[in-house]
Amino acid sequence: MSREVPDPSQQTSLHLQRAKVGDRDSLNWLVDRLSPLLLAQAKYRLGRRLSAVIEAEDLVQEVWATVYPRLSDLQAREGRETPVLLRFLSTTLLNQVNNLARRARRAGVGGEQGKAVDEATADGDKSAAGPGPATMVAAEEQRAQVLRCINELPGIHREILILRGIEQQEIADIAMLLELEANTVAQRWHRALEQLRENLPDSVFDELD
């Protein structure tokens, strides 16, 4: 039986609802759709030193393995689930990076990270079965296209995309971090979204605001 094609602005929410009740196809869909954003965040947060400790792709797989058993815990905010899922994924990734940085400092590898990382609160059962490497490979061409479009953004637009769109930080906090006016951050955020939506129609960027 064919499924109804979801509203593009609600696709992630719909697949998340299905994944919560064990729909493997929807889980794989989520991995394919959101992993490019997590890869961009991972590369940004790991920096040069921690990238020598772990590949960004491996870190993203660890994040999915941690988050997968806890998808059912997520609750919609104002009727939307995409920002909640992105926040959970990105916070889990930040938590992993913090742990890596602490271990690297103890091992004498060096604690330098590309950017300062806030302490995260997410955790998870990493021993639980999650999506395997095949789900990451299946959409490699799509992932490469999304990453290419993100990398084509001007540097400050890309940074704001990660901080606002993926990590869901507040405009005022980003402005303080980047030493910019809040209006400037908001304008560059919307310009980044416009460029990504133009280059990547029907993508997850349609679900961000």
* pLDDT score of 67: 95
Per the prediction, the chain carries an average pLDDT of 84
* pLDDT score of 62: 95
* pLDDT score of 81: 87
Give the count of alpha carbons within 13 A of 19, CB side only.
26
How far is the C-alpha of 207 from the C-alpha of 126, rounded, in Å?
29
Angle at 31 between CA 29 and CA 34, to 5 degrees: 100
Q: Which residues contact 70 (CB under 8 A, 6 or more apart)?
A: 88, 124, 125
Question: What backbone phi and psi angles, to 5 degrees, belong to 53?
Answer: -90, -40
What Cα–Cα distance (Å) separates residue 35 from each residue in 29, 111, 127?
10, 25, 20
**How would you write the pLDDT of the chain (209 residues) with one tens digit per residue?**
445 555 666 788 889 999 999 999 999 999 999 999 999 999 999 998 899 889 999 999 999 999 999 999 998 887 788 889 999 999 999 999 999 999 988 887 554 444 444 433 333 333 334 445 544 455 678 888 999 999 999 999 999 999 999 999 999 999 999 999 999 999 999 999 999 999 999 899 999 88
Each residue's pLDDT tens digit, 115-130: 444 433 333 333 334 4
* pLDDT score of 77: 83
Query: pTM, whole model, 2 decimals?
Result: 0.81
What residue ranges do the domains of the chain occupy?
8-207
* pLDDT score of 9: 63
* pLDDT score of 2: 47
